[in-house]
Amino acid sequence: MPKLRFKDDDKKKKKDKHRHSHHKRHKEKPYKPPTLYEEESGWVPPSTSTKYDPDQAWRERLFEAMIDDEGQDPFYSQYTESYHQPTMDDEEYRQYIVDGMYRRKHADEIAEKERRKAEKEKRKQEKERARKEQERLERVYQQLETQRKQESSKASFIEKWNKLESLQTIHKKDVPWPMIGREFTLEAVRQFVIDPTLSEAENKKNVRKEQARYHPDKFVTRYMKRFEGSDKEKERVMTHINEISGFLNELWSQMNTT
């Protein structure tokens, strides 16, 4: 009786044969890891294509030497900053290094110069402060002097006006003038009539009062009839009366337009 073969046995043999052949093919082609790029013929890695630069090597050695001295060189930070400046050419960089080495070697001398410079600047500032203080004191003195003259002039002014009413004969020296000093100017009249400590309304009242006193027609009617003196003195008095009246009118106009 012939021997029977089952279908499952045939499938198992075929599977083992396929596995054996696949393993054989795998050994024939060794594994090659994948690459991120495909190498081209003639390509050279960048590390081997860079040429040797003696200047760059000198800079690197100099920089390493400065690193060794870090913490002792007060100008170290300046060196490192200049090392990274791309706009500095070789000659400028060399000169900067030379200057830095000079400053390092003469650090005490440079520090002394800086100290003297600071002291000189301090003396200059103190002198300027003294000058400003002197100017301030002079302004205060001028204000006090003006105030003193104003008070003195007003006291004399009031006294003369009180006498003027009762005098039977009036001379040139008896006529009071509402101003500070001897010059007949608008500013002299302003300093006398305008009191900065008073309100605007009170100052206006004072100006109106003096306008009435020095109105040319009224002054002639009330006082010049009793005036004794030469025609020249009389003419001079009337000239000053007209000037004072004009200054008072100008002050009044300014006070009402501001």
Whether residue 136 is predicted with pLDDT greater than 80 in this model: the reply is: yes
Q: Radius of gyration over alpha carbons of the chain, in Å?
A: 54
pLDDT in tens, 22-61: 454 545 556 666 555 555 555 555 554 556 677 777 677 6
Give a yes or no: residue 103 inside a domain.
yes
| Count of positions (residues) in the chain | 258
Which residue among 115, 134, 166 closes a domain? 166
Domain match, 179 and 241 both: yes
Check the CA dihedral 54-57-63-66 and report its sign: negative
Domain match, 196 and 222 both: yes
Whether residue 122 is predicted with pLDDT greater than 60 in this model: the reply is: yes
Mean pLDDT of 212-229: 92
Range of the domain at 104: 90-166
Domain match, 118 and 176 both: no
Give a yes or no: residue 81 inside a domain.
no
Domain match, 116 and 101 both: yes
- d(CA 179, CA 160) in angstroms, rounded, equals 13
Domain match, 162 and 173 both: no
Give a yes or no: residue 125 inside a domain.
yes
Domain match, 190 and 211 both: yes
Domain match, 174 and 251 both: yes
pLDDT in tens, 67-97: 555 554 545 455 454 444 557 787 888 788 8
Which residue among 166, 199, 229 closes a domain? 166
Asked if residues 65 and 57 have their Cβ atoms less than 8 Å apart, the reply is no
Which residue among 166, 197, 229 closes a domain? 166
Domain match, 139 and 199 both: no
Give a yes or no: residue 85 inside a domain.
no
For the chain, what is the domain count?
2
